[in-house]
Amino acid sequence: MSEENKTEQPVANSITEVKSEGGDVKATTGADTKTTTSARPVGRTGYQGKGGARRSFGGKKPFRKGSRFRDRPKPEFDQKIINISRVTRVVKGGRRLSFRVDMVIGDKKGRIGLGSGKATDTSLAIQKAFNQARKNLIKIKRTKTNSIPHVTDAKVTAARVEMMPNKERGLVAGSTMRTVLELAGVTDVTARIHSRSKNKLNNAKAAIKALSTFSIPMDPIKDAPKEERKGRFNGRDRRGGGGQRRPFNANR
């Protein structure tokens, strides 16, 4: 027997099972499998195209771990930084650099506050400004259309502002006054700055002073920031004790 007959014999005798479209199993030889390109062997499932097989999850999407920012609660107040300035203090040894942050916070429901913070780091200055703004919160009385009841004006140092209600014209204001009115939830108001002052902090103070004419009593804030103790020993006894100093008793 020649070598060609030896190589052709196992190919002719090889039998594979192929599923037809109706679900019946047919037996085909190796010669038939060469001509039939759409036949697939039994027992192989999944994607058989280019790029390798895909992992099937039973028709369901694979589980993905949720983002850690998805379940974060919404903050009580919206905040906006109106000014960040770098402050340099000259001392005997040289210069000391620090940052000052001016911030306006509000819940867009009538509460508004302004605060400033100084620190050597911007993140710490922002936190101090936020805590001070929460201490200085006021609540203003608004109309049914979220406007102000009547015309008002205020003056702080060189900054002088004026606010007047308008009828369904929206918020017509610019610069720092627009930020203050938006965070306070005030609309349909026309505001103007009648001075040439470019100091954003003074303009914000004048705007809040003008809104304070409509202030009403406010409920206490939950989780109010604790007051920072100022002093060399931070509330400790000078003799090195851990507790606070005892009050003086004249009768002993």
What domains can you pick out in the chain, each with its CATH number? 78-216 (3.30.160.20)
- Statement: residue 192 has pLDDT above 90: yes
Provide the pLDDT for residue 60: 59
Residue 29, strand partner residues:
15
- Tokens representing residue 243 in the block: 């507790």
- Statement: residue 119 has pLDDT above 60: yes
**Single pTM value for the model:** 0.60
Q: Which of 56-60, 86-90, 132-136, 153-157 has the lowest mean pLDDT?
A: 56-60
Q: Which residue has the higher pLDDT, 198 or 33?
A: 198
DSSP state of 67: P
> Could you write out the DSSP letters of every residue in 132-156?
HHHHT-EEE---TTS--SS-EEEEE
Long-range Cβ contact pairs of 111-115 (< 8 A, separation 24 or more)? 111/77, 111/137, 111/138, 111/139, 111/140, 111/184, 111/218, 112/137, 112/138, 112/140, 112/180, 112/183, 112/184, 112/208, 112/211, 113/77, 113/137, 113/138, 113/208, 114/180, 114/204, 114/205, 114/208
Q: Which residue has the higher pLDDT, 119 or 225?
A: 119
If you average pLDDT over every residue of the chain, what do you get? Answer: 76
Each residue of 73-101: pLDDT tens digit? 788 889 999 999 999 999 998 999 999 99
Q: Percentage of the chain surpassing pLDDT 70? A: 60
Each residue of 22-55: pLDDT tens digit? 555 454 444 444 444 445 555 555 555 555 555 5
Q: How far is CA 241 from the centre of its chain?
A: 43
